[in-house]
Protein backbone atom coordinates (compact mmCIF):
# COMPACT_ATOMS: atom_id res chain seq x y z
CA UNK A 1 0.00 0.00 0.00
CA UNK A 2 1.29 3.45 -0.85
CA UNK A 3 1.78 5.94 1.95
CA UNK A 4 -0.74 8.20 0.24
CA UNK A 5 -3.36 5.44 0.64
CA UNK A 6 -2.49 5.16 4.35
CA UNK A 7 -2.91 8.93 4.62
CA UNK A 8 -6.24 8.80 2.89
CA UNK A 9 -7.58 5.81 4.85
CA UNK A 10 -6.70 7.34 8.20
CA UNK A 11 -7.55 10.93 7.24
CA UNK A 12 -3.98 12.01 7.94
CA UNK A 13 -2.24 15.32 7.78
CA UNK A 14 0.99 14.84 5.85
CA UNK A 15 3.52 16.78 7.90
CA UNK A 16 6.60 16.39 5.74
CA UNK A 17 8.10 14.65 2.71
CA UNK A 18 4.96 15.00 0.56
CA UNK A 19 7.07 14.00 -2.43
CA UNK A 20 7.59 10.53 -0.92
CA UNK A 21 3.95 9.46 -0.67
CA UNK A 22 4.42 6.95 -3.50
CA UNK A 23 6.53 4.81 -1.15
CA UNK A 24 5.06 1.35 -0.63
CA UNK A 25 4.58 -0.09 2.86
CA UNK A 26 3.63 -3.70 3.51
CA UNK A 27 4.06 -3.91 7.28
CA UNK A 28 3.76 -1.82 10.44
CA UNK A 29 5.21 -1.73 13.91
CA UNK A 30 3.24 0.08 16.63
CA UNK A 31 4.93 1.13 19.87
CA UNK A 32 5.51 4.07 22.15
CA UNK A 33 8.56 2.34 23.54
CA UNK A 34 11.40 2.92 21.09
CA UNK A 35 13.35 0.09 22.74
CA UNK A 36 10.70 -2.29 21.38
CA UNK A 37 11.07 -0.91 17.86
CA UNK A 38 14.84 -1.31 18.02
CA UNK A 39 14.62 -4.82 19.47
CA UNK A 40 11.73 -6.40 17.60
CA UNK A 41 10.90 -4.64 14.32
CA UNK A 42 11.90 -5.65 10.82
CA UNK A 43 13.11 -3.05 8.29
CA UNK A 44 10.80 -1.13 5.92
CA UNK A 45 7.95 -0.84 8.44
CA UNK A 46 5.61 2.06 8.96
CA UNK A 47 6.18 3.12 12.57
CA UNK A 48 2.91 3.89 14.40
CA UNK A 49 3.55 5.79 17.62
CA UNK A 50 2.40 8.42 20.05
CA UNK A 51 5.96 9.45 20.87
CA UNK A 52 6.72 12.77 19.18
CA UNK A 53 10.27 13.46 20.37
CA UNK A 54 13.38 13.55 18.24
CA UNK A 55 14.17 10.01 19.41
CA UNK A 56 11.14 8.69 17.52
CA UNK A 57 12.68 9.97 14.28
CA UNK A 58 16.16 8.68 15.16
CA UNK A 59 14.57 5.32 15.90
CA UNK A 60 12.76 5.27 12.56
CA UNK A 61 16.02 6.20 10.86
CA UNK A 62 18.27 3.57 12.42
CA UNK A 63 15.58 0.87 12.16
CA UNK A 64 15.03 1.66 8.44
CA UNK A 65 11.34 2.53 8.81
CA UNK A 66 9.58 3.91 5.73
CA UNK A 67 7.76 6.59 7.68
CA UNK A 68 6.12 7.54 10.96
CA UNK A 69 2.40 7.76 11.68
CA UNK A 70 1.64 9.82 14.80
CA UNK A 71 -1.62 8.85 16.49
CA UNK A 72 -4.20 10.69 18.62
CA UNK A 73 -3.71 14.01 16.81
CA UNK A 74 -0.17 14.35 18.11
CA UNK A 75 2.39 16.44 16.24
CA UNK A 76 6.19 16.10 16.23
CA UNK A 77 8.41 18.53 18.10
CA UNK A 78 10.14 21.15 15.87
CA UNK A 79 13.45 19.28 16.32
CA UNK A 80 11.83 16.00 15.29
CA UNK A 81 10.30 17.62 12.22
CA UNK A 82 13.62 19.15 11.14
CA UNK A 83 15.39 15.82 11.56
CA UNK A 84 12.70 13.98 9.59
CA UNK A 85 13.09 16.45 6.72
CA UNK A 86 16.88 16.04 6.76
CA UNK A 87 16.71 12.25 6.88
CA UNK A 88 13.82 12.10 4.38
CA UNK A 89 11.41 10.26 6.64
CA UNK A 90 7.75 11.01 5.82
CA UNK A 91 5.64 12.03 8.82
CA UNK A 92 1.87 11.56 8.96
CA UNK A 93 -0.52 12.48 11.77
CA UNK A 94 -4.01 11.15 12.41
CA UNK A 95 -6.68 11.70 15.03
CA UNK A 96 -7.20 7.92 15.26
CA UNK A 97 -5.83 5.92 18.19
CA UNK A 98 -3.10 3.31 17.84
CA UNK A 99 -5.67 0.51 18.10
CA UNK A 100 -7.84 2.02 15.38
CA UNK A 101 -4.88 2.61 13.05
CA UNK A 102 -3.63 -0.94 13.47
CA UNK A 103 -7.13 -2.38 12.95
CA UNK A 104 -7.81 -0.40 9.79
CA UNK A 105 -4.39 -1.12 8.26
CA UNK A 106 -4.49 -4.81 9.22
CA UNK A 107 -7.90 -5.12 7.61
CA UNK A 108 -6.41 -3.69 4.40
CA UNK A 109 -3.70 -6.34 4.33
CA UNK A 110 -0.75 -4.75 6.10
CA UNK A 111 1.05 -7.12 8.46
CA UNK A 112 3.16 -6.84 11.60
CA UNK A 113 6.80 -5.97 10.88
CA UNK A 114 8.07 -8.77 13.08
CA UNK A 115 10.04 -11.93 12.47
CA UNK A 116 7.11 -14.06 13.66
CA UNK A 117 4.67 -12.43 11.22
CA UNK A 118 7.18 -12.68 8.36
CA UNK A 119 7.63 -16.41 9.04
CA UNK A 120 3.91 -17.17 9.48
CA UNK A 121 2.59 -19.51 6.75
CA UNK A 122 -0.28 -17.16 5.92
CA UNK A 123 -1.04 -13.67 7.07
CA UNK A 124 -4.32 -11.77 7.16
CA UNK A 125 -5.13 -10.28 3.81
CA UNK B 1 48.50 -9.49 13.64
CA UNK B 2 46.88 -6.05 13.64
CA UNK B 3 43.94 -5.67 11.25
CA UNK B 4 44.16 -2.96 8.63
CA UNK B 5 41.83 -0.07 9.49
CA UNK B 6 40.11 1.39 6.42
CA UNK B 7 38.31 4.16 8.27
CA UNK B 8 38.46 5.46 11.82
CA UNK B 9 36.53 8.18 13.63
CA UNK B 10 35.68 9.17 17.19
CA UNK B 11 32.55 10.80 18.57
CA UNK B 12 31.72 12.28 21.96
CA UNK B 13 28.42 11.52 23.70
CA UNK B 14 27.37 13.64 26.68
CA UNK B 15 25.35 12.28 29.57
CA UNK B 16 21.79 13.58 30.08
CA UNK B 17 21.85 15.25 26.64
CA UNK B 18 18.47 13.86 25.53
CA UNK B 19 18.04 16.73 23.08
CA UNK B 20 20.83 15.34 20.91
CA UNK B 21 20.27 11.67 21.72
CA UNK B 22 20.60 9.72 18.49
CA UNK B 23 22.79 12.16 16.57
CA UNK B 24 25.94 10.06 16.83
CA UNK B 25 24.16 6.92 15.62
CA UNK B 26 22.70 8.90 12.73
CA UNK B 27 26.11 10.35 11.80
CA UNK B 28 27.71 6.92 11.89
CA UNK B 29 24.91 5.52 9.75
CA UNK B 30 25.57 8.18 7.10
CA UNK B 31 29.29 7.32 7.12
CA UNK B 32 28.61 3.59 6.75
CA UNK B 33 26.21 4.29 3.86
CA UNK B 34 28.84 6.43 2.13
CA UNK B 35 31.33 3.59 2.54
CA UNK B 36 28.87 1.35 0.69
CA UNK B 37 28.29 -1.26 3.38
CA UNK B 38 25.44 -3.75 3.09
CA UNK B 39 22.13 -2.25 4.35
CA UNK B 40 21.57 -5.19 6.75
CA UNK B 41 25.00 -4.60 8.31
CA UNK B 42 24.32 -0.87 8.57
CA UNK B 43 20.98 -1.52 10.28
CA UNK B 44 22.50 -3.85 12.88
CA UNK B 45 25.30 -1.40 13.64
CA UNK B 46 22.98 1.60 13.72
CA UNK B 47 20.64 -0.10 16.19
CA UNK B 48 23.56 -1.15 18.40
CA UNK B 49 25.08 2.34 18.25
CA UNK B 50 21.78 4.06 19.05
CA UNK B 51 21.17 1.77 22.03
CA UNK B 52 24.72 2.40 23.28
CA UNK B 53 24.35 6.15 22.77
CA UNK B 54 21.07 6.29 24.70
CA UNK B 55 22.60 4.22 27.51
CA UNK B 56 25.36 6.81 27.87
CA UNK B 57 22.85 9.66 27.85
CA UNK B 58 20.70 7.94 30.48
CA UNK B 59 23.36 6.57 32.81
CA UNK B 60 26.84 8.07 32.25
CA UNK B 61 28.56 11.46 32.40
CA UNK B 62 30.33 11.27 29.06
CA UNK B 63 31.60 8.71 26.59
CA UNK B 64 33.75 8.31 23.51
CA UNK B 65 32.47 6.16 20.66
CA UNK B 66 35.25 4.87 18.43
CA UNK B 67 34.36 3.53 15.01
CA UNK B 68 36.79 1.40 13.04
CA UNK B 69 35.97 -0.03 9.64
CA UNK B 70 38.10 -3.08 8.89
CA UNK B 71 38.29 -5.07 5.65
CA UNK B 72 35.86 -7.71 6.95
CA UNK B 73 34.09 -6.06 9.92
CA UNK B 74 33.12 -2.86 11.69
CA UNK B 75 34.37 -2.52 15.24
CA UNK B 76 32.88 -0.12 17.80
CA UNK B 77 34.12 0.75 21.27
CA UNK B 78 31.96 2.88 23.59
CA UNK B 79 33.89 3.82 26.73
CA UNK B 80 32.06 5.94 29.27
CA UNK B 81 32.90 7.74 32.47
CA UNK B 82 30.08 7.25 34.93
CA UNK B 83 28.41 5.21 37.64
CA UNK B 84 29.26 1.81 36.14
CA UNK B 85 27.19 -1.36 36.40
CA UNK B 86 27.34 -3.30 39.70
CA UNK B 87 25.90 -6.55 38.29
CA UNK B 88 26.56 -7.02 34.56
CA UNK B 89 24.86 -10.42 34.42
CA UNK B 90 21.64 -8.86 35.81
CA UNK B 91 21.86 -5.87 33.44
CA UNK B 92 22.30 -8.14 30.41
CA UNK B 93 18.92 -9.80 30.96
CA UNK B 94 15.96 -8.44 29.01
CA UNK B 95 13.61 -6.35 31.14
CA UNK B 96 16.14 -5.57 33.85
CA UNK B 97 16.50 -1.82 34.13
CA UNK B 98 17.08 0.96 36.61
CA UNK B 99 15.52 3.57 34.32
CA UNK B 100 13.62 6.53 35.73
CA UNK B 101 10.10 7.53 34.70
CA UNK B 102 11.56 10.32 32.55
CA UNK B 103 13.72 7.88 30.60
CA UNK B 104 10.70 5.63 30.00
CA UNK B 105 8.60 8.61 28.91
CA UNK B 106 11.20 9.23 26.21
CA UNK B 107 10.69 5.71 24.89
CA UNK B 108 13.71 4.06 26.48
CA UNK B 109 14.74 2.30 29.65
CA UNK B 110 12.88 -0.96 29.14
CA UNK B 111 15.93 -3.04 29.90
CA UNK B 112 16.34 -4.09 26.28
CA UNK B 113 19.36 -1.98 25.32
CA UNK B 114 22.35 -4.11 26.30
CA UNK B 115 20.79 -7.41 25.15
CA UNK B 116 19.85 -5.73 21.88
CA UNK B 117 23.41 -4.53 21.30
CA UNK B 118 24.60 -8.10 21.84
CA UNK B 119 21.88 -9.47 19.54
CA UNK B 120 22.94 -7.12 16.75
CA UNK B 121 26.65 -7.91 17.10
CA UNK B 122 28.79 -10.84 16.00
CA UNK B 123 31.19 -10.22 18.88
CA UNK B 124 30.29 -8.42 22.11
CA UNK B 125 32.19 -7.65 25.30
CA UNK B 126 31.26 -5.52 28.29
CA UNK B 127 33.34 -4.49 31.26
CA UNK B 128 32.44 -2.12 34.05
CA UNK B 129 33.84 -0.69 37.25
CA UNK B 130 31.41 0.86 39.72
CA UNK B 131 32.10 4.57 40.12
CA UNK B 132 34.45 4.64 37.13
CA UNK B 133 32.56 3.63 34.01
CA UNK B 134 31.59 1.03 31.46
CA UNK B 135 33.18 -0.06 28.21
CA UNK B 136 31.34 -1.87 25.42
CA UNK B 137 33.20 -3.48 22.53
CA UNK B 138 31.20 -4.91 19.69
CA UNK B 139 31.85 -5.98 16.15
CA UNK B 140 29.67 -6.71 13.14
CA UNK B 141 31.16 -8.75 10.32
CA UNK B 142 30.73 -7.31 6.85
CA UNK B 143 31.86 -10.33 4.84
CA UNK B 144 28.61 -12.15 5.69
CA UNK B 145 25.55 -10.61 7.27
CA UNK B 146 23.79 -13.10 9.54
CA UNK B 147 20.29 -12.21 10.67
CA UNK B 148 20.20 -9.93 13.68
Q: Report the domain count for chain A.
A: 1
Asked whether residue A92 is domain-assigned, the answer is yes
Residue A121, pLDDT score? 67
pLDDT-based confidence at residue A112 (cuts at 50, 70, 90): very high
Is the pLDDT at A93 greater than 70? The verdict is: yes
Q: What ranges do the domains of chain B cover?
A: 7-141
pLDDT tens per residue across span A22-45 = 999 999 999 999 999 999 999 999
Asked whether residue A97 is domain-assigned, the answer is yes
| ipTM, 2 dp | 0.88
Asked whether residue A23 is domain-assigned, the answer is yes
Q: Which residues contact B13 (CB under 8 A, 6 or more apart)?
A: B24, B53, B56, B57, B62, B63, B64, B65, B78, B80
Minimal Cβ distance to A62: which of B50, B113, B119:
B50
Minimal Cβ distance to B108: which of A35, A79, A83:
A35
Is the pLDDT at B35 greater than 50? The verdict is: yes
Is the pLDDT at A124 greater than 50? The verdict is: no
Please give the residue range of the domain that contains residue A55: 3-114
Residue A122, pLDDT score? 56
Q: What is the mean pLDDT of chain B?
A: 92
**Mean pLDDT confidence for A107-123:** 84
Whether A44 contacts chain B with CB within 8 A: no
Beta strands A67-70 and A46-49, pairing class: parallel
Taking each helix axis from N to C end, the angle separating B23-34 and B39-59, rounded to the nearest 10 degrees, works out to 160
Asked whether residue A121 is domain-assigned, the answer is no
Q: Which residues of A touch B51 (CB under 8 A)?
A: 35, 38
Asked whether residue A125 is domain-assigned, the answer is no
**Mean pLDDT confidence for A96-114:** 97
**Mean pLDDT confidence for A99-107:** 98
How near does any CA of chain B get to the CA of A2, in Å?
22
Instruction: Kindly report the length of chain B.
Output: 148
Is the pLDDT at A106 greater than 80? The verdict is: yes
Q: Which residues of A touch B106 (CB under 8 A)?
A: 34, 51, 53, 55
* CATH architecture of the domain formed by B7-141: 2-Layer Sandwich (3.30)
Q: Do B107 and A55 touch (CB under 8 A)?
A: yes
Asked whether residue A54 is domain-assigned, the answer is yes
Paired residues of A2 in beta bridges = A24
Per mean pLDDT, which range of A62-71, A84-93, B83-92 is the poorest?
A: B83-92
Residue B15, pLDDT score? 96
Amino acid sequence: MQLRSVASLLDCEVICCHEMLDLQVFSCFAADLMSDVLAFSLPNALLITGLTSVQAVHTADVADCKGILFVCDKRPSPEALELARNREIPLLATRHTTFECCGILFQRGLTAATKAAAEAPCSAK
Amino acid sequence: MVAEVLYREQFTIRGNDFEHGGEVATQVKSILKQLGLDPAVIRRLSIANFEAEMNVIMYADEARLELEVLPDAVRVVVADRGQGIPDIEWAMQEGHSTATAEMRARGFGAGLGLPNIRRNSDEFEISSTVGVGTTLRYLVRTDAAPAG
